[in-house]
Chains A and B, each alone.
Chain A
Amino acid sequence: AQSVTQLDSQVPVFEEAPVELRCNYSSSVSVYLFWYVQYPNQGLQLLLKYLSGSTLVESINGFEAEFNKSQTSFHLRKPSVHISDTAEYFCAVSQDMEYGNKLVFGAGTILRVKS
């Protein structure tokens, strides 16, 4: 069975500082990896995904994540955060080619950006 562990439940950080949200997964088969973001009072939105190819994937708003198969990790990073990045971030894994189906989520990490 697959599982996802997000190592930090909350991460406080000052504006313009770098941040890393950690995600480890366990699976005996090849997986597809995702980060979703949930802003206050909004639905989950896909931030970025790894399906195959380059192990470093980027989002349009400056986040990046690197798939590390040997470490079974998919940590999310941003070199300089903004107040508007305050949200809850969920790491998720799927082994289904038709990605989006049967996602297994971590418990989430709340990112609080302070001015």
Chain B
Amino acid sequence: DTGVSQDPRHKITKRGQNVTFRCDPISEHNRLYWYRQTLGQGPEFLTYFQNEAQLEKSRLLSDRFSAERPKGSFSTLEIQRTEQGDSAMYLCASSYLLTGEAFFGQGTRLTVV
């Protein structure tokens, strides 16, 4: 296993467009997390899944943000009607419940123009 994989690594989109990012966690990990990191700040927690269940989504930044993990494996994060303020690095992490640290992917850098 090569670790947590995120795709794409970079995304440039026009304001108002929808974007979707994918995260493939480490295969045996049942917890998956999404964070957002803006320039000069540390990562900010957005949401997490245990298997396919989304256990917390109150930190999602607005109703334009949604996340899924349909089969308890990979996850997608969608941003609808993107705004310039959405420009950031979106990080995914995974862990094995109760035993392991969170392993982070390299992130998807979103630029909204």
A99 to B33, CA, bound (A): 12
Q: Which residues of chain B come closer than 8 Å to A106, judged between CB atoms?
A: 42
A46 to B93, CA, bound (A): 12
Does A44 touch B at the CB level, under 8 Å? yes
Q: Which of A11-40 contact B (CB under 8 A)?
A: 36
Chain B residue nearest to A42 (CB atoms) is B106
A90 to B106, CA, bound (A): 15
Q: Which of B72-109 contact A (CB under 8 A)?
A: 91, 93, 95, 97-98, 100-107
Does A101 touch B at the CB level, under 8 Å? yes
Chain A residue nearest to B102 (CB atoms) is A100
Interface membership of chain A positions 96-115, coded 1 if the CB is closer than 8 angstroms to chain B and 0 otherwise: 00111111111110000000
Q: Closest CB of chain A to B61's CB: distance in Å?
A: 15
A81 to B97, CA, bound (A): 34
Does B45 touch A at the CB level, under 8 Å? yes
Q: Which residues of chain A come closer than 8 Å to B28, judged between CB atoms?
A: none
Interface membership of chain B positions 1-13, coded 1 if the CB is closer than 8 angstroms to chain A and 0 otherwise: 0011000000000
Please determine whether B56 and A102 come into contact, CB atoms closer than 8 angstroms. yes
Please determine whether B101 and A46 come into contact, CB atoms closer than 8 angstroms. yes
Inter-chain pairs besides A43-B103, A101-B48, 6 sampled, C-beta below 8 Å? A4-B42, A44-B93, A46-B101, A101-B31, A101-B33, A105-B42
Which 8 A-B pairs give the minimum distances between C-beta atoms? A105-B42, A100-B102, A44-B104, A43-B104, A100-B95, A43-B106, A46-B101, A105-B43
